[in-house]
Structure 1
Amino acid sequence: MERQIIPTADGSVTISIPASGITYHSKHGAIQESMHVFIGAGLHYILAKGITHNPLRILEMGFGTGLNALLVLQESIRTGSSVHYETIEAFPLENVVYTRLNYCDQLQAPELQPQFLRLHESAWDITHTVTDRFSFLKRNTTLEKFNSPGLFDLIFYDAFAPSAQPELWTEDVFRKLFDLLNPGGILTTYCSKGDVRRAMLAAGFTVEKIPGPPGKREMVRAGKA
């Protein structure tokens, strides 16, 4: 699979798969999108709700470039929040790709570059202590095969769009994700298509449409009562 690194409007880069026209992040701004959809509407929101699990348990579907994990690591350092971050990736990036991603520079946090590389290079299926408040576990598998002995407080659903991977946006998938959440937990995603929202509702979620990042009118935050 050919992958190309391309710039986005906020100066951060993303990855394009030319054969399918897919990009890993919005061309309007990779960091900008992740900050809006996953940090603002996800992490900040659930911390403001007073979720007190220690550590806060986050599951990410689609590790991809590692940007979402990096942003959560940065927030953990900034706020002192304890986080266990678990992520699923069936098709990890090659060294020649992830070493050229400019996120730490764009965040004006070059000191995080060694930790960002560690996220990519760490062994699979082993929990790693990245800082005293951030543990990290990545699984080289598919969501279909993924199992976890613990539940999560927050799910970042960052799969490719339904047009590219329709099998990842079904009622059965969202029922599995619903069952992986603690009561009071939430799932955030950039996608707000009607059939996706209906699949979430059928799986048991409460579904809220909220303003999307630049270039996208709406996104979804779904909750488990």
Structure 2
Amino acid sequence: MHVFIAAGLLPLLEQKSVNILEMGFGSGLNPLLTLIESEKSDHLIHFETVEAYPISLDQASQLNYLSQLNRGDLKDIFLKFHTAQSGELVRHGHFSFAKHLTKLEDAHFETKFDLVYYDAFSPLDQEELWTPEIFIHITTFLNPGAILVSYCCKGTFKRSLKAAGFQIEKIPGPPGKREMIRAVYP
């Protein structure tokens, strides 16, 4: 909520529509929280995510997000996030979703994005996802003024973003983390 919704999505809701690219679908929490936020207004939110190593449907069905959020009514759409074929468009109200089962460096999109949720494993675990080349690749899919948010605040990450042309802002992090990054692509 703090990193991706509060620092990323909410500042963009003055726009009528927002296109979001997420690196790291993982458990599906970020699209679920974004869908819930989309229900609060009539904003159109289009969400595309990249995941090279998806969790199994069995693992997804064991997650307790829906009970924690008191949103059992979203069970079908949450499971659809996990069962959708690569590139398949899923709709729910003002929210549309597509998952791409590929590596980020191999991903290509027709959509231009306003916001990037960069939720990859840390640079210590997946160094290849934090290079200048990856962020330069991402810029080819961005609208002018697009925002990238991440929990990461490592120096190598900031240098990679700067090399790709982003302007960096350190902002307060979520509980337990002093700061995080919000970057703007001019």
Structure 2 gap segments, 5+ residues each? none
Aligned with 1:155: secondary structure?
A: strand
Mapped to 1, the partners of 2:98 and 2:181 lie a distance apart of 26
1:127 alignment counterpart: 89
Higher relative contact order (CA 8 A, sep 6+): 2
CA distance in 2, matches of 1:109, 1:71: 11
Letter in 2 for 1:64: G
- State whether structure 2 residue 62 is matched by structure 1 residue 100: yes
What is the match of residue 22 of structure 1? Answer: none
Partner secondary structure for residue 201 of structure 1 = helix
| Other-structure match for 1:156 | 117
Name the CA distance, whole Å, in 2 between partners of 1:217 and 1:137.
33
List gaps (5 residues or longer) in structure 1: 1-34
Secondary structure at 2:39 match in 1: helix
4+ aligned runs moved over 6 Å, structure 1: none
Please name the residue that 1:185 is paired with: 146
SS of the aligned residue for 1:59 comes to strand
In the alignment, structure 1 residue 51 sits paired with structure 2 residue 12:
no
Shift of 1:147: 0.5
Residue 36 of structure 1 corresponds to which residue in structure 2?
2
Counterpart CA distance in 1 for 2:3 and 2:31 is 13
Amino acid at match of 2:3: V
Per-residue deviation, 1:80: 2.3
Q: Which residue of 1 aligns with 2:158?
A: 197
Instruction: Supply the distance in 2 between the matched residues of 1:167 and 1:123 (Cα, whole angstroms).
Output: 25
TM-score under structure 1 length normalisation: 0.80
> Matches of 2:155 and 2:51 in 1, distance apart?
26
Q: Cα deviation per residue 1:108-140 (whole Å; 9 max; x = unaligned)? A: 2111122111111122212122x2311111111
User: Residues of 1 paired with 2:183 and 2:163: CA distance?
Assistant: 12
Task: Give the Cα–Cα distance (whole angstroms) in 1 for the partners of residues 90 and 74 of structure 2.
Answer: 16
1: CA distance, partners of 2:88 / 2:59: 23
Q: Report sequence identity in percent.
A: 48
Q: TM-score if structure 2 supplies the norm length?
A: 0.96
